[in-house]
Amino acid sequence: MKNKKFDTVKMTRSIRDENYEETKGLTRKELLEKYKKRGKDAMKKFSQPSQSSELID
């Protein structure tokens, strides 16, 4: 077996556990609002042109 530098399954499990802990006490309405806000924040972040994508002469 190869020596892995990155364990994808372990990382996925830790993300799911963290999300569960953050949301376990929320109502459905609160959870929906949280996801809407995260979606809006992501849209803002990824719709802005990044500096690294600009061509340099």
Residue 57 has pLDDT above 50, yes or no: no
CA distance 16 to 13: 5
Residue 19 has pLDDT above 70, yes or no: yes
What DSSP line would sit under 3-38, residue for residue?
--S--HHHHHHHHHHHHHHHHTT--HHHHHHHHHHH
Binning pLDDT at 50, 70 and 90, where does residue 56 land? low
Which token pair is 12? Answer: 């996925």
pTM here?
Answer: 0.57
